[in-house]
């Protein structure tokens, strides 16, 4: 159980991909989840080549339950998700040996938590996983900040935590040049 916190550009996604690749090479059944659909599409070929599954969270949930409720088309995704949550114990989930979540700040909330817990052997409390997130900046875009911190506290009891602080994608010289041009 590993928690990696870092701002944008600190290498979270690259570390998550490397972790997925290594766990897959060890023969583990790995699932890589992210929030952003475009990110998933950009990483898809890497995932296929390295024999792990990759989904954005909404696509995964929709795919898991699309045959569960024939009436789903009448509802919005959120209402349908609530209906599915009510019958979650009746659904057979694929179980993975290792769960990797990138963009955890957008996924770690009570909307998705029941699904995540069922996807991994032994659940989130005892299972094997790595979660990569930005609790400072990116969390405010899509995430539910209250449930995010509650879930981090809940699952962090036995996890190893790291904080990434060096922006590898946007070095200081680029930031300085942008400031000179834009004064931002």
- Average pLDDT of the residues in 28-41: 95
Work out the pLDDT band at 70, boundaries 50, 70, 90.
Answer: very low
Residues 6+ apart with CB under 8 A from 141: 106
- Average pLDDT of the residues in 94-118: 88
Distance in angstroms (rounded) separating the CA atoms of residues 42 and 40: 5
Give the tens place of pLDDT for each residue, 42-62. 999 999 999 999 999 988 887
Residues 6+ apart with CB under 8 A from 111: 81, 144, 147
Tell me which of 123 and 52 has the higher pLDDT.
Answer: 52
- Average pLDDT of the residues in 128-147: 74
Please count the other Cβ atoms lying within 10 Å of the Cβ belonging to residue 106: 23
Distance in angstroms (rounded) separating the CA atoms of residues 33 and 53: 9
7-11, 72-76, 115-119, 164-168: range with lowest mean pLDDT: 72-76
Q: What pLDDT shows up at residue 158?
A: 75
Q: What pLDDT shows up at residue 83?
A: 65
Q: What pLDDT shows up at residue 25?
A: 97
Work out the pLDDT band at 73, boundaries 50, 70, 90.
Answer: very low
Tell me which of 91 and 133 has the higher pLDDT.
Answer: 133
- Average pLDDT of the residues in 99-107: 93
Asked whether 137 and 8 are in contact (CB, 8 A), the reply is: yes
């Amino acid at each position: 159980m590993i928690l990696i916190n870092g701002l944008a550009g600190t290498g979270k996604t690259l570390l998550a991909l490397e972790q997925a690749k290594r766990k897959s090479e060890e023969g583990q059944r790995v699932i890589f989840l992210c929030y952003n659909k475009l990110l998933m599409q950009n990483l898809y070929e890497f995932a296929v080549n390295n024999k792990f599954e990759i989904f954005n969270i909404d696509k995964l949930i929709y795919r898991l339950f699309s045959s569960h409720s024939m009436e789903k088309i009448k509802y919005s995704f959120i209402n349908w998700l609530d209906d599915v949550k009510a019958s979650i114990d009746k659904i057979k989930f694929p179980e993975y040996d290792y769960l990797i979540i990138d963009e955890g700040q957008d996924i770690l909330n009570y909307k998705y938590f029941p699904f995540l817990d069922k996807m991994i052997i032994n659940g989130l409390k005892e299972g094997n996983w790595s979660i990569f997130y930005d609790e400072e900046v990116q969390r405010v875009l899509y995430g539910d900040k209250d449930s995010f911190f509650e879930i981090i506290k809940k699952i962090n009891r036995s996890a190893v935590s790291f904080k990434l602080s060096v922006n590898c994608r946007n070095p200081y010289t680029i930031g300085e040049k942008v400031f000179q041009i834009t004064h931002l």
